Structure formats: structure tokens, C-alpha cells
Structure 1
Amino acid sequence: MLILTFEDSEEEIVNHIVFYISTGTKAFQVVENARTELRFDGLEIDVAKRLVRKQKQEIDLTFTEFEILHLLVRNPGRVFSKEQIYNSVWKEPYFGDYNIVMSHIRNIRKK
């Protein structure tokens, strides 16, 4: 069995996967990190319940707003392009105007 965590470096992950595949194993399962509560810059995010609180007050986010915020909080300090955010949140290739991403980010900031 191969277990990888988000704490593993990219190089370690690649090395483990290459070794695991080279052993002839046909199937493997990816299990996401079990962290269900995140805290960042005064925000509390309960991923399992899809709740966001700021200073103990619940913030009502749409599904897409939550996904964008969750992506950004999971990757503190990382800079994402609009295309990267779109591809990650919508889980499909870009096909139109990235202004939709900025519109959702503006809404998150207002809230």
C-alpha cells in the first residue's frame, strides 16, 4: 500500500508513484488529507460542513465562492492565475471569459 500526504514534497510524491507503478501494481486509491477545519487570517473554514466564519459570524457563500476560497486557503502564499483557479474550481478547461473568476473573488471580498 502506498500512502501519500500533502506534507510530502513533490519530489517524494513523484518518486513514490513511479516506484509503485513500476512494481506492476494495477490500482491505487487517492485519499485526500483528512483536515476538515482550516484557519487563515481570521477565517474559520469547516470543509466537511462547507461553513465559513469570520470572527465567529457565519458567512454565506455560494458553492463556487466556497470552492475558490478553499483552494486559496489550502495554498497560502501561492499565487494562482485566473486560468488556474478556473480549471481547478470548475474542473474543466477554460472556454470563455475569466472575468467570471474575478466576479466571484469580488463577491468573496465583499462578504
Structure 2
Amino acid sequence: MSKYNILLFGFRNPNQKILVEKINYIFKKEKLIHIKKELDPEILSYSIGAIIDHDNYLDGFSSNILLSKLISNDNLPKVIITSNTRFDELQISGTNIEICFHPIVPSEIKNRLEISLKRTKKTSDLNNRIDFDNLIINLDKYEVWLDGNKLNLTFKEYELLKYLASNPGRVFSREILLKSIWSDDYFGGTRTVDVHIRRIRSKIDDLKNQFIETQWNVGYKFRNKN
């Protein structure tokens, strides 16, 4: 973990001061921020996780709304500390939540937050890429991989491939592809679409797969999965 915020919600019991100090010590590289009423978007953007003490938060309308926002935030790894008697009160959804039960061990909190962090990152990666047989298009990194090897595509080649792969089975005319990828400012003809398709095919097609199919007299489509 690096120097980012970790949000603390709850921990209002004075007897928990020692526990908070232990959590602060074990997360020595991170800055702990107590949140009470509102969730600052800027603080949230620099936060790698949240530790929620479900048994010791200020019950009330605003606090319940804030608790609900924290729990439902799929992009925020979190550890919820609760007791066996109150566990059923939690309305939990998502895969980036870890549960700790009282009595609390700070090292367990850290381990569980790291597990949630890894799971959240993995989920984010999977949600931002296109997988098709042995071809992977990473939408966050603008990368294309084939059989584990990174391909060298130009920006227009990448954009054209992504556009087709995002709509498998749908046929696009050369005119639509030209307008969508090159915009109305481009004064060349549809021949440039054919040239880029040919270049893309030379990089992604192999004996096992032919990803882009030609619809004669119309245009191109990215084939459906078998």
C-alpha cells in the first residue's frame, strides 16, 4: 500500500481510542481520515479503502445514508467490523467487502483490506477489457494482447478494432466506420477503412482465429463467439 487515505467510519466509542491508535500504527504509510456526515469526493478519489465500525457509528438519518453510500461503492475496498448479533442488519452487496468480527485484531483488518483491494482491482480490470478467445483489448491501457503477447497497433487501428469488438456480430458500413473513427473532419475516402482493416488483420489473425469478417458490398463486422 502507498501513501493514500484510508477512511474510518464509526469508532465513536471513547474506549476505541487505543484500537484506532493501533490501526494508525499498522497503516503507518496511509493517512487515516475520520468521516462523520459527508463523503468528500476529492478525499474519496485519493482513498484506497475504508474501515467501517458497524457497531459504533452514530445512528441517524445522515449517518445511515453515509453508511449506505460507503457499502454500495463498488470501487472502494472496505472492511466492515461488526458483531455476531448485528451482522444480519447489514445489507451487503458486491465482492469488495470483507467482514471482521469483534474482538478485533488490527493485523487482520489490514490483511482483509489488502484482500479487498486486490479483488477490487481484479474486478475493475475485468470490467474494462474485452476478452475474445485468445485476444484481449485492455480499455484502460489502450493495449491489445494476443496469446499473451502485446501487439503494436496505431491509435486508429486500436480505435477501429475496439469499435468493432464492442459490437460483435453487427455489420458496419465503411461509411459509418469512417465517420465514427475519423469523424467528419477527415476528407479521405472509405479506402482508408479497408487499409486499416487489412493492417489489423495482419496483426491479430492467425490459424486459430479470424476476428474481423467482411460483409461483401457492405462493410465489416467482428465475429460472434462460437
User: With structure 1 as the length reference, what TM-score do the two structures score?
Assistant: 0.65
| Deviation (angstroms), 1:96 | 3.2
- Give per-residue Cα distances to partners, 1:37-64, cap 9 Å, x unaligned: 1112421010110000011111110000
Query: How many angstroms apart in 1 are the aligned matches of 2:166 and 2:191?
Result: 23
1:47 equivalenced with 2:47 (yes/no): no
Q: What is the percent sequence identity of the aligned residues?
A: 43
- Give per-residue Cα distances to partners, 1:10-47, cap 9 Å, x unaligned: xxxxxxxxxxxxxxxxxxxxxxxxx4211124210101
Q: What residue number does 2:157 align with?
A: 65
Q: Which runs of 5+ in 1 are unaligned?
A: 1-34
Query: How many angstroms apart in 1 are the aligned matches of 2:186 and 2:175?
Result: 7
Q: Which runs of 5+ in 2 are unaligned?
A: 1-126, 204-226
Runs ≥4 residues deviating over 3 A: 93-96
Query: How many angstroms apart in 1 are the aligned matches of 2:182 and 2:157?
Result: 11
Query: How many angstroms apart in 2 are the aligned matches of 1:106 and 1:63?
Result: 15
**Higher strand fraction (1 or 2):** 2
Asked if the contact 1:83/1:94 (under 8 Å) is kept, the reply is no
Q: What residue number does 2:174 align with?
A: 82
Give the number of the structure whose alpha-carbon radius of gyration is greater: 2
Q: Which amino acid aligns with 1:44?
A: I
| Deviation (angstroms), 1:110 | 0.5
CA RMSD of aligned residues (A): 1.8
Q: Give the paired residue count.
A: 78
Q: What residue number does 1:6 align with?
A: none
1:92 equivalenced with 2:184 (yes/no): yes
